[in-house]
Amino acid sequence: MKGALIGCGFFAQNQLHAWRDIEGAEIVALCDRDEQRLVQSATDFNIARTYFDAEAMFKDAGFDFVDIATTAPSHRTLVEMAARAGVHIICQKPFAENLDDARAMVSAAAEAQRTMMVHENFRWQSPIRAALSIVRSGRIGTPFFGRFSFRSGYDVFTGQPYLAEGKRFIIEDLGIHILDIARAFLGNAERITATTKRINPKIRGEDVATMLLSHIAGATSVVDCSYATRRMPETFPQTLLEIDGTEGTLRLDAGYRLTVQSDGEDVQDVSPPVLPWAEKPWHNIQESVLTIQQHFTDCIAAGREPETSGSDNLQTLALVEAAYLSAAEGRTVTLDEL
């Protein structure tokens, strides 16, 4: 399969490395409005076709899928352009700026009969997959409580300065991942209550959020996120888990230590590998990029819907919107309202 990538920024470099490692897929065209980034990426990854304009790239065609690695305001335009061009789509999160745009994007891909997946990579981290496999096997029984926690003081603004400029920050950029992990373990939610706070005076958005979810299947979960937490050693970018089930408990602790307490206690080291092009502490996320893009490739080849499809991601995006509404109005929000 031949692919094109739109957006050659900070995180897209991980996507380009991962595509180079995937059998059966090759990036043949790049598009970015920034000439320096475009030329550098084309040189680094030996990609001959480069474009400043996405429309021109789609017009020239010659590829089967597009990887949209831009920011959310451009997503609807690019997804609809890709659907009209008849190519499969993988789109960076947040999927859209609002639910109306997201629904229109899902419809556009469905009408074109093309596969569309959201690059929601956190649930594809190997420690998370290991924990998911155990819970889905029934080893700890039926889950009734979960805590999904990401707390760090890591400076994410140097590499991605735009994160400090938006009115929204931690729920939209990070919490969306952790909410998606909660859905992966406990299913869709029907209600959410959220509080937010800004600790860092140099940013516009919130950098602390705590969310309480009631899931349709009966479980309750707490999702807590912070980029204002000072801790030693620093745990970035690890997501910590605790799942209580009717037959036992699972914990994913700092240092990628996975503990299952059921009939006795089982402790595993589920540290992710450091890929040749990866570096600590980002290696956990970088490995998940390879895994999710391989899943996308495999799903297209098999003609099946990806786990993190556009239609599935509507549920995660709805939780983000509901969380902001809850925090703004100081009340519990039901997902039916959206």
pLDDT above 70 covers a percentage of the chain that reads 100
Looking at the fold, whether 80 and 140 belong to one and the same domain comes out as: no
Residue 84: inside a domain: yes
- For residue 221, what are the domain limits? 123-279+309-337
For residue 65, CA distances in Å to 35, 122, 277, 278, 294 come to: 23, 22, 24, 25, 13
pLDDT surpasses 90 at 160:
no
For residue range 100-148, what is the model confidence (pLDDT) as tens digits?
999 999 999 999 999 999 999 999 999 999 999 999 999 999 999 999 9
Contacts of 291 (CB under 8 A, 6+ apart): 121, 124, 125, 126, 129
Residue 71: the pLDDT is 93
**Average pLDDT over the chain, rounded to an integer:** 97
Residue 263 lies in a domain: yes
| Residues 133 and 107 both lie in one domain | no
114, 135, 158 - which closes a domain = 114
Same domain for 208 and 69: no
Per-residue confidence at 159, pLDDT binned at 50, 70, 90? confident
180 with 327, same domain: the answer is: yes
The enclosing domain of 83 has a CATH number of: 3.40.50.720
CB atoms within 10 A of CB 36: 9
Whether residues 103 and 135 share a domain: the answer is no
Contact 117, 305 (CB under 8 A): no
Structural domain includes residue 298:
no
Structural domain ending residue among the three candidates 84, 114, 144: 114
What is the pLDDT at residue 23? 86
Contact 169, 205 (CB under 8 A): yes
Residue 296 placed within a domain:
no
pLDDT at 117: 98
Is the confidence at residue 243, as pLDDT, over 90? Answer: yes
Give yes or no: residues 98 and 192 share one domain. Answer: no
If one counts every other C-beta atom within 10 angstroms of the C-beta of residue 207, the result is: 24
| Tens-digit pLDDT profile for residues 286-305 | 999 999 999 999 999 999 99
Residue 311 has pLDDT above 90, yes or no: yes
Q: How many CB atoms lie within 10 A of CB 29?
A: 22
Report percent pLDDT > 90 for the chain: 97
| CA dist., res. 208 & res. 195, Å (int) | 8
Residue 323 shares a structural domain with residue 253: yes
In this structure, are 105 and 251 located in the same domain? no
Number of domains in the chain: 2
CA distance 55 to 68: 13
297 domain-assigned: no
* Same domain, yes or no: 110 and 133: no
End-to-end CA distance of the chain: 37
Is 108 contained in some domain?
yes
pTM, rounded to two decimals: 0.96
Decide which of 176 and 159 is more confident.
176
Residues 103 and 155 in one domain: no
β partners of residue 245: 143, 248
Look at residues 114, 141, 171 and tell me which one is the last residue of a structural domain: 114
Q: Calculate mean pLDDT across residues 176-185.
A: 98
Q: Over the stretch 26-84, which tens digit does the pLDDT of each residue have?
A: 999 999 999 999 999 999 999 999 999 999 999 999 999 999 999 999 999 999 999 99
CATH code of the domain containing 218: 3.30.360.10
